[in-house]
Amino acid sequence: DQQVKQNSPSLSVQEGRISILNCDYTNSMFDYFLWYKKYPAEGPTFLISISSIKDKNEDGRFTVFLNKSAKHLSLHIVPSQPGDSAVYFCAASGNDYKLSFGAGTTVTVRA
């Protein structure tokens, strides 16, 4: 049962433009959301997170937006850079230790 879904397997964006990655979840008990970035042959690296008490969290070029009523979150990368080319995973947790992950979105930033 896939509780976290990333419906776009890939995204191609020109350098300097905005990348928008989307994530939907089904479990209303989720209250903490994370984005991880993964390069080939490396483990996922924590990027940014948001608690359900907020609707926006910003860290440099990365902003995560949370819409609890729609059970939807998104990651914005502005401006996109070639080093941002990677697989991005959305993850969610409730009041326990488990993270539920989406299948990932592969971002390619074109020069």
Partner 1 sequence: GAGVSQSPSNKVTEKGKDVELRCDPISGHTALYWYRQRLGQGLEFLIYFQGNSAPDKSGLPSDRFSAERTGESVSTLTIQRTQQEDSAVYLCASSLLAGGSKNIQYFGAGTRLSVL
The residues that touch partner 1, with contacts defined as CB under 8 A, are 2, 4, 6, 9, 31-32, 34, 36, 41-46, 49, 51, 89, 91, 93, 95-104
Closer residue to partner 1 in complex, CB, 15/55? 55
Closer residue to partner 1 in complex, CB, 14/51? 51
Q: Where are the beta strands (DSSP E) in the chain?
A: 4-5, 10-14, 19-25, 32-38, 45-51, 56-59, 62-67, 72-77, 86-93, 100-101, 105-110
Provide the minimum distance between the beta carbon of 111 and partner 1 in the complex, in angstroms, as a whole number. 26
